[in-house]
Amino acid sequence: MATIAEKILAAHSGRERVSPGEFVNVSVDVVLANDITGPLSINEFERLGVSKVFDPQKIVMVQDHFVPNKDIPSAIQAKALREFSRKHGVVYYEVGRAGIEHVLLPQEGIVGPGQVVIGADSHTCTYGALGAFATGMGSTDIAMAWATGDAWMKVPPTIKFVLHGRLQPWVGGKDLILHIIGEIGIDGALYSVMEFHGEAVTSLGMDGRFTMSNMAIEAGGKAGIFPVDANTEKYIAAHPPKSGPRPLLKYHTDSDTDYVRVVEIDASKIEPCVAFPHKPSNTKPVSQAGSVTVDQVVIGSCTNGRLSDLRVAAEILKGHKVHPSVVCIVIPGTQKVYSDAMDEGLVRVFMDAGAVVSTPTCGPCLGGYMGILAPGERCLSTTNRNFVGRMGSKDSEVYLAGPAVAAATAIVGRIAGPDEVAPATQEVSTK
């Protein structure tokens, strides 16, 4: 009897089964790096003195953090990644033909169910939404995997989260995962796999699932996995791998006794949620946020930069103006999301409202560029972390929420629920 994670790790380590706590060498299907973590990996790879990578088709490089280059040192990093990628012929995504890695890779069909994906970015866990075992590692681990095609892992225990009931209007994946982190704390799933079940997530679209898996790391999780279902299969059919069809590997956990813990949540009671500074676990329902004025709103990132996130934001912003004292920055997650948002008229809504619409970048989320905060400034953001100094000055504040609360906040000028600007009865087209 085994969990999804254990079955995937067993299949990738040539074993019948693996048990939590065991150390295994796991073969990897995709190895990811970006313009910040990649250059360090290149350094370490070159120290090894190996001339070739194990399989150029399984190595993916994405320019996304500080690009288009924000300064000369960033340009040097981007150049290092570009040159190494060309030299080794790996899968490489250039600015203007790419986007934020964790929005991009599912969209391009690079990641899929049953795979083991490792990436030098903590939010690599996003791909668990597709039923993959995906986890973030550091640059040296990634560099060694470029050479060997495998990585060591300690098999993690799995915690099952069952989200019962139907979701309230405007509640999406971000509200669910913030609520969970608020309940269990930022180390509540330390070294564990979070596996998501229940009516509330079965009905959740893939974009909402990506958001939830993305933030497993914010609870200390090693992976955040959804079982493959009809929604997953539909998404995969619409985003086929360019390298040709892949077998659809559907793993399921055998029994509840395979979990280290089962957490049951009544999701029908969850309101749109906000995480206050300076921890993602510092959550409150938006109705209890009080009067918190903001200077900036960011809508985007690997957490909430997908088309359905922009649709939710546009639905609320349509016909409204961004509050005079707020800067609103909208960042579509990939070039394709940007293009689709233009075709659907969403970009027009944002621009008419007085928001900035930027080319895809991780920029403001990690305090890189494109929306850095001054001392004393506050930002409500659809990103994933709100630690001290995350988005700029150590004396600034970041509040985390989903796109509905972000759009409402941009209009009202203080943290606000969508009910304050749009009728609550309105159905959200995609969650």
Partner 1 sequence: MILKGNAHKYGADVNTDVIIPARYLNVWDAALLAKHCMVDIDPEFTANVRAGDMIVATTNFGCGSSREHAPIAIKECGVSCVIAASFARIFFRNAINIGLPLLECPDAAAECETGDTLEVDLALGTITNVTKGTTYTASSYPEFMMGIIEAGGLVPYTTRRLGGRRA
Give me the residues that bind partner 1 (CB under 8 A), please.
23, 36-37, 39-40, 43-44, 47-50, 65-66, 70-71, 73-74, 77, 119-122, 124, 136-141, 143-144, 147-148, 152, 154, 186-187, 190-191, 217, 220, 222, 279, 366-368, 372, 385, 387-390, 392, 394
Question: Nearest CA to 111 among 101, 121, 120, 96?
Answer: 101
Q: How far is the CB of 172 from partner 1 (least distance, A)?
A: 23
Name which of 40 and 415 has its Cβ closer to partner 1. Answer: 40
Name which of 138 and 165 has its Cβ closer to partner 1. Answer: 138
Grouping H, G, I as helix, E, B as strand and the rest as coil, residue 357 is strand
Beta bridge mates, 261? 159
Q: How far is the CB of 234 from partner 1 (least distance, A)?
A: 31
Cis peptide leading into residue 56 (ω within 30°): no
Q: How far is the CB of 43 from partner 1 (least distance, A)?
A: 7
Name which of 120 and 416 has its Cβ closer to partner 1. Answer: 120
Name which of 225 and 322 has its Cβ closer to partner 1. Answer: 225
Torsion of CA 188, 191, 193, 199, to 10 degrees: 10
Q: How far is the CB of 221 from partner 1 (least distance, A)?
A: 9
Name which of 323 and 390 has its Cβ closer to partner 1. Answer: 390
Q: How far is the CB of 388 from partner 1 (least distance, A)?
A: 5
Q: How far is the CB of 47 from partner 1 (least distance, A)?
A: 5
Query: At 134, phi and psi to the nearest 5?
Result: -125, 130
Name which of 195 and 315 has its Cβ closer to partner 1. Answer: 195
Question: Nearest CA to 122 among 388, 248, 254, 303?
Answer: 303
Beta bridge mates, 135? 118
Q: How far is the CB of 414 from partner 1 (least distance, A)?
A: 25
CA of 301: how far to CAs of 86, 214, 349, in Å? 27, 11, 19
CA of 369: how far to CAs of 69, 74, 173, 330, 361, in Å? 10, 11, 26, 14, 9
- 225-260: string of b/e by CB count within 10 Å (b at 16+)? bbbbeebbeebbeebeeeeeeeeeeebebeeeebbe
Name which of 84 and 350 has its Cβ closer to partner 1. Answer: 84
Q: How far is the CB of 295 from partner 1 (least distance, A)?
A: 18
Name which of 121 and 315 has its Cβ closer to partner 1. Answer: 121
Six token digits for residue 44 = 């370490």
Q: How far is the CB of 75 from partner 1 (least distance, A)?
A: 9
Q: Is 149 left (phi over 0), alpha (psi -120 to 50) or beta?
A: left
Q: At what angle do helices 307-317 and 206-214 cross, to 10 degrees?
A: 100
Alpha helices in 297-427 (DSSP H): 301-304, 307-317, 335-343, 346-353, 403-412
Q: How far is the CB of 25 from partner 1 (least distance, A)?
A: 9
Name which of 165 and 220 has its Cβ closer to partner 1. Answer: 220
Residue the block writes with tokens 């989260």: 161
Name which of 141 and 271 has its Cβ closer to partner 1. Answer: 141
Q: Which pairs count as long-range contacts for 68-72, CB under 8 Å and 24+ apart, including other chains?
A: 68/95, 68/359, 68/361, 70/363, 70/368, 70/369, 70/370
